[in-house]
Amino acid sequence: MKLARVLGSITSTHKNKELEGEKLLWLQPVGPDGKEEGKPVLAVDRVDAGKGDLVIYLDEGGSAKLIMGKPRAPVRVVVVGVVDSLTWEGESCKK
């Protein structure tokens, strides 16, 4: 699992049938220090996260499909948690 900041939501008028009704988010991966790490990714939201939230996401297709309960869904990344607080090496980090 990895950390990311939600940049916003994605609206799609046409999408794969398995993704109908799913909320899509644009995520910026971050480290525990909050600094950006890598390029933004598209993810399916399973926890009702919103813009600016710090989230935990899974970047592994088989597990993402299992979490969604949709084995045929074309999904690799899924948001599985919203971070309330974060402690790293004994220090409380900014949310």
| Per-residue model confidence (pLDDT) at position 93 | 67
What is d(CA 14, CA 75) in angstroms, rounded to the nearest whole number?
16
Between β-strands 77-82 and 41-45, what pairing exists: parallel, antiparallel or unpaired? parallel
Which uninterrupted H or E stretch holds 52?
none
More confident residue, 14 or 49: 49
With 70 as the cut, is the pLDDT of residue 95 above it?
no
What is d(CA 43, CA 60) in angstroms, rounded to the nearest whole number?
11
More confident residue, 26 or 12: 26
| Per-residue model confidence (pLDDT) at position 62 | 86
Residue type, 24: L
pLDDT in tens, 33-78: 889 999 999 999 999 999 999 999 999 878 888 888 888 888 999 9
| Per-residue model confidence (pLDDT) at position 37 | 96
Residue type, 88: W
Domain boundaries, the chain: 2-11+19-74
Is the Cα dihedral 28, 39, 30, 23 positive or negative? positive
Q: 2-11+19-74: what fold? A: OB fold (Dihydrolipoamide Acetyltransferase, E2P) (2.40.50)
